[in-house]
A and B are shown apart, each in its own frame.
Chain A
Amino acid sequence: MQWPDLVPVIPELILLVAACVVLLVEPFLKTEDGRGDKTAVIAIALTGLLGALVVSLALVGQDRESFAGMLVLDDWAVFFKVLFAIGAGLVILMSPGYLEAHRRHLGEFYALVLLAVVGMDLMAAARDFILLYVALELMAISSYVLAAFFRYRVRSNESSLKYFLTGSFASAIMLYGISLVYGLAGATGYAAVGQALGGRGGSAGVLLAVFLVAVGLGFKVSAAPFHMWTPDVYQGAPTPIAAFFSVGPKTAAFAAIMAAFIVAFPGAVQEWGVFFIVLSIATMLVGNLYALVQTNVKRMLAYSSIAHAGYLLTGVGAMGWAGNSYPGHGVMVYLAAYTFMNLGAFGLLAYLKTQMPHSFDYSLKQMAGLGRRSPWAAVLLSLFLLSLTGIPGTAGFIGKFYVFSGVVWADLWWLAVIGVLLSVVSAYYYLRVIIYMFFREPEEEYEVREPISGGMAASLAVSAIATVVIGILPSWLWDSVASAFNALFD
C-alpha cells in the first residue's frame, strides 16, 4: 500500500491533536473549590491554532494533492486555513470570561471549536464531494453541540434543536444531490465530475443535482429562503459561538461553493449563476428588511449576517453568470473582511453580557449611554458597525467595493445597484445602535464592572486593527486572494 502524502493535512492534524490533548488534560485540572482552572486548556487550544496558522503560512506556494486527489494543498486552501485559524483563535480569546459568567466553563468547549475548525479546513481543501460532505458534517455536529452548550437554558436548547433539525434536513438534501451527481457522472471528484458532465450542458437531471447541492450549501450560508433558522440559533447560542457561526461555517460553505461549482458543473454555469443571483436578491432583501425592525441587537446582527450572505452571493452568482472565476476574488476579500468585523461586533456583545450576566438582554434600550459608561466599548462597537455598514476607510467598504466591482465586471450592474441600495438601508439599523450608545440617556443605570481586559481585549484589538488595516491597505489581501484563485483556476 502506498503511504498517502500527509503534508497537506498537517494543520488539521495539529488541531486534532490539540483537541484531544484538551479533552485529556481537562479532567486533571482541579483547584480547591472544585472548579478547574482552565488556563492550561485555553493555552493548549491557542497553541494548536497558532501551530496550524504557522504551518499553513509555511506551506504557501505549495501545489500538491493527496489521498487520491481528494484533497489539495494550494494557496486557496492555505488562505482559508489561515482565516479559520485566526477566526477560531479570536473566538477562543473572547470566550473564557463569558463562559465563567454563565458558570459553565468546560474544556470541551475549546475542543469542539478546534474540531469544527478541522471540518472547515477540510471543506475548503476538499476536491471531492464525499470529503466535502463528511467535513461539513464534522463542522455541523460540533456546531450543534456548541449551540446547546448552556444546556439548562431554554433559549440555548431551542437554538440547538432548531439548528440540528434544519441542518440535518439540509445535509440530507445535499447528500441526495451528491448521489445524483455520482449517478450521472460516475465519479465524485470535482474535476472528474466536471469532465463527465461538461459536454452534457444543463440537462434536467444535472440541473436537479446542481439545485439540490446548491440548496444544501445555501442553507449553511443562510441564504433566503433557507435562512429561517439563523436568528433563533444565533440568539440562543452562547455569544462567542454565535460569532463563530456567523463567520466560520459560512466562510467554509462559500469556499466549498466557489471551489466546487465552477469546476464540477461547467456545463450549467449560467443556470446555477442565475439560481445564486435570485437567492442573493432574496437574501439581501430579507436580511436588511427584517434587521430594520429588530430591537434586540444580537438578533439584529443575525439578520445582518443574512444580509451579508446576500452581498457575498451576488459575487458567487456573477461567477456563474460570467462563467469566470474573476468575480470570486471580491467574495474572498469580503469573507476576510467580514470575519474580523463581525467577530468584533459579536465580541463586544459578549463583553457586555459578561459584565452584566443577568440584567443584559441585548436590547437597544440597554445600549443607551454606553458611550459614557464604557467609552472604549462604545467606540470599538461603533467601528465594527460602521465597517459592517461599509463606510470608506474600513474593511467593510473594501469588501463591498471588490464584490460589487466584480459583479459589475460580469455585466450585472443592476445587481450591484440593488446591493448598494440595500447597504444604504442597512446604515439605518447599524447607525441606530451608535445613536443609542452616544446620544440617548439610559433609563436606569447599568454598572460596567471591569474595563475590557485579557483575552477579550486581545481579541477585540486584533479585530479592530484588522478592520482598519484592511480598510486602508487592502492590496496585500487582494494579492493573496489573487494567488489563491490562480492556484485553483490556473
Chain B
Amino acid sequence: MTEKILFIVFSVLAVAGGLGTITRKNVVHGLLLLVFTFLNVAAIFFLTQAYFLAVIQILVYAGAIMVLFVFVIMLLNLRTFEQEEQTHRRQRWIAAALSVLVLVEFVVVLAGVTFTSVRGGLTPETMTDLGGGTKVFGDALFNNMLLPFEVASVVLLVAMVGAIVLVKREKTAGGATRAWEPGERPTPEALEEEV
C-alpha cells in the first residue's frame, strides 16, 4: 500500500515537472524542473527495485546530461525563449487534432495488448531470486549483450572523431589541410557553392 501511494506521489510530481519544463519561459527554470522530473523518475525506479537503473538515471541524466544543458545555456547566453513568429497558425490546430488522434490510437491499441514480458518475464521477485537487478543486468550486458555493448563503444569513438572533425580549430602551421587559408575570408558565393 505504501508503495502504491509513493508511486502515485512520485509519478504525479514527475508529470508535473515535465509539464513545467515545457511551459516555463525562463530556460533555467525549465532546466531545474527537468532535473526534478529526472529525480522523481529515479525514485520510481527505486520503488520497482531497479536500483542500478535508478543510480544510472541520477548519474547520467540528472548529472551528466544536465551539466551539458547548463553549458549550452551558458554558451548561448539564453535567458528566455524568444517568442517565435508563428508562421503556420492554421496548421497548429490540425497538428493538435492529429496528435490527439495518434495518442488515442496508441492508447486503444496498447491497452488491448498483453505484454509477454510482463506476463511471464522478470518481476521484482524473480529478480531478487536471481541475485538482484544489478547482477542480472550485468550478466546480461556482458554475456548475451556483449556484442551490442562493444559496438556501442565504437559508436562513441565515431562520435568523438566526428566532434573533432566538425569543430576543431585548425592551426596555421602543420596539421590538416584547411578549407580556407587563415585570415582569408571566403566570399559569400564560395560558401554557397555546390559541393
Contact = CB atoms under 8 A, between A and B. Distances in A.
Contacts of B151: 119, 122, 131, 134-135, 138
Given A1-B143, A115-B154, A138-B151, A186 B179 contact: no
B147 A183 contact: no
Contacts of B5: none
Interface residues of B, number: 48
Contacts of A440: none
B64 interface: no
Contact of A145 (B142, B165, B193): B165
Interface string B105-146: 010111011011110110000000000000000000011111
Nearest to B118: A183
A361 B154 contact: no
B176 A106 contact: yes
A235 B194 contact: yes
A152 B180 contact: yes
Interface string B159-195: 1011011110000111111111000001000111111
Interface of A is mostly: helix
A70 B145 CA distance: 8
Nearest to B188: A154
B147 A71 contact: yes
Contacts of A138: 151, 154-155, 158
Contact of B166 (A135, A145, A182): A145
Interface in A309-363: 353, 358, 360-362
A108 B144 contact: no
Contact of A203 (B113, B117, B177, B179): B113
A233 to B, nearest CB: 12
A434 interface: no
Given A112-B162, A145-B158, A152 B179 contact: yes
A186 to B, nearest CB: 4
Interface of B is mostly: helix
B186 A155 contact: no
B63 interface: no
A237 interface: yes
A162 to B, nearest CB: 14
A432 interface: no
A141 B162 contact: yes
Given A102-B179, A118-B154, A141-B155, A154 B161 contact: no
B146 A358 contact: no
Contacts of B104: none
A9 B193 CA distance: 42
Given A186-B116, A205-B112, A36 B158 contact: no
B148 to A, nearest CB: 4
Interface in A118-153: 118-119, 122, 128, 130-131, 133-135, 137-138, 141-142, 144-145, 148-153
A185 B113 CA distance: 11
A437 to B, nearest CB: 19
B191 to A, nearest CB: 5
Contact of B165 (A16, A106, A152): A106
A465 interface: no
Contact of A208 (B106, B158, B193): B106
Interface of B: 106, 108-110, 112-113, 115-118, 120-121, 142-148, 151-152, 154-155, 157-159, 161-162, 164-167, 172-180, 186, 190-195
Given A70-B144, A205-B109, 18 more contacts: A34-B174, A36-B175, A70-B145, A108-B165, A112-B161, A112-B162, A115-B158, A119-B151, A130-B148, A137-B155, A141-B159, A145-B166, A153-B195, A154-B192, A183-B117, A184-B115, A186-B121, A208-B106
Interface of A: 1, 4, 9, 16, 23, 27, 30, 34-36, 66-68, 70-71, 100, 102-106, 108, 111-112, 115, 118-119, 122, 128, 130-131, 133-135, 137-138, 141-142, 144-145, 148-156, 180, 182-186, 196, 203-205, 208, 235-239, 296, 298, 353, 358, 360-362
9 contacts: A27-B175, A115-B154, A118-B154, A131-B151, A134-B151, A151-B167, A152-B191, A155-B194, A360-B194
**Across chains A and B, which 4 residue pairs bring their CB atoms closest together, nearest first?**
A205-B113, A145-B162, A186-B116, A183-B115
